[in-house]
Structure 1
Amino acid sequence: MKSGAQWIGILGRIPVGEGRTFQGQAFDSAGKVRYAGQVTGIRIIAEQTTAVALVLQEVDAPAPFENAVPVITSVVAQSATVTPGGTLSWMRARRTRTRVMP
């Protein structure tokens, strides 16, 4: 049953015991598995409800974004003071993951 952005359900008659594994898959309209997940080591106790959170991750996820936000490594001002309404010139240096940029 869908509840908001989550799917929930209740399974019964699971044998009591240790080390149970639960798996889930989500399919697209063509029947291809798009998301999958598994949780292991679940303990089922007689006459008790056991909550199991199963997180499905994208199976064929695209490559992660490779670009990075530049990091400002220094700021140099022409003067340490400026008069109200005056102008201040400054330079900055920044770097990305791969190179230093002016």
Structure 2
Amino acid sequence: MTMDRPSFEQDIRPIFAPYVACMKNVVLTDDDGAAEMDLASYDCVVRFHQPIRVALTGYRPGSTAPHPMPPGGALPDDKIDLFLMWVETGMAR
């Protein structure tokens, strides 16, 4: 990661690596149709970054997320913040 621009390959994929297998059974839909959640896929994470953001921040006070993720408890705040920064800075590969 550069100091102000995280990348999927270097920064985001490692955060999601422990959850790739368990999330493969999750199917999300958008205007383009339905797809399995593949957290190892840049294209999939970009496509579904909004519901991922809602789920990752779902354990935070005041959240109304119906299904906070990951199962078993929140990611550390620094990892959630890194994902949010990645989205805000253009989702570099």
Greater relative contact order structure (CA < 8 Å, 6+ sep): 2
Is this a same-fold pair by TM over 0.5?
Answer: no
TM-score bucket (shorter structure): under 0.3
TM-score w.r.t. structure 2 length? 0.20
Q: Which has more helix, going by share of residues?
A: 2
Q: Which has the larger radius of gyration?
A: 1
